Amino acid sequence: MDARKTAAINTLAAELAKDDAKKEADKPAASTAKKPAASTAKKPAAKKPAAKKATTTAATAKKAADDAKKTVAKKASEAKKTVAKKATTAKKTVAKKATAAKKTVASKTTAAKKSVAAAITGSEKSAAIIQIFGKDIIVDDVIAKAAADYKKNKKKAAKDIKVYIKPEENVAYYVIDDQPGSVTL
């Protein structure tokens, strides 16, 4: 690509030099008709040669091409920076939306668990009863007794309750908020 540009620039410079040379050649003929012969003899010696003008024109064209390359490189660099900024912004937006979606899912899951628990214990009249050794053990009463024991000992409400009933030992073992304990049936 650079070789083609250089050839084109050199061709243009040569054409410009030829045009300048023709114009210069035409000027002395016109000026001799208007002015005396003594003044025309001095002017051709003071003029620059056409080859020197072509070199100057080629140098100017090369400088313009170099300036254009620099401008293009600068704009390309700015475009890369803009694209990088937009990509970073997009990544942040996606991360925020993913976090928000996770929070929404977590809150909906928690709400579903609470509604299931409320449906089981609250609105419906249901009870789980274990009959063993001629004795009735109401599961809800055992859970409530375990929660009350935990609250009495730890001075705070239970969040997670697991109860293991052993009727042969007449004991219910519980794990509430990762704290073990037991109550008699």
Return phi, psi of residue 136, to 5°: -100, 125
Is 177 or 124 the better-scoring residue by pLDDT? 177
Confidence of residue 57 (pLDDT cuts 50, 70, 90): confident
Closest CA to 21 of 56, 54, 46, 58: 54
pLDDT at 1: 58
What percent of the chain is modeled with pLDDT above 90? Answer: 5
CB distance 160 to 176 below 8 Å = yes
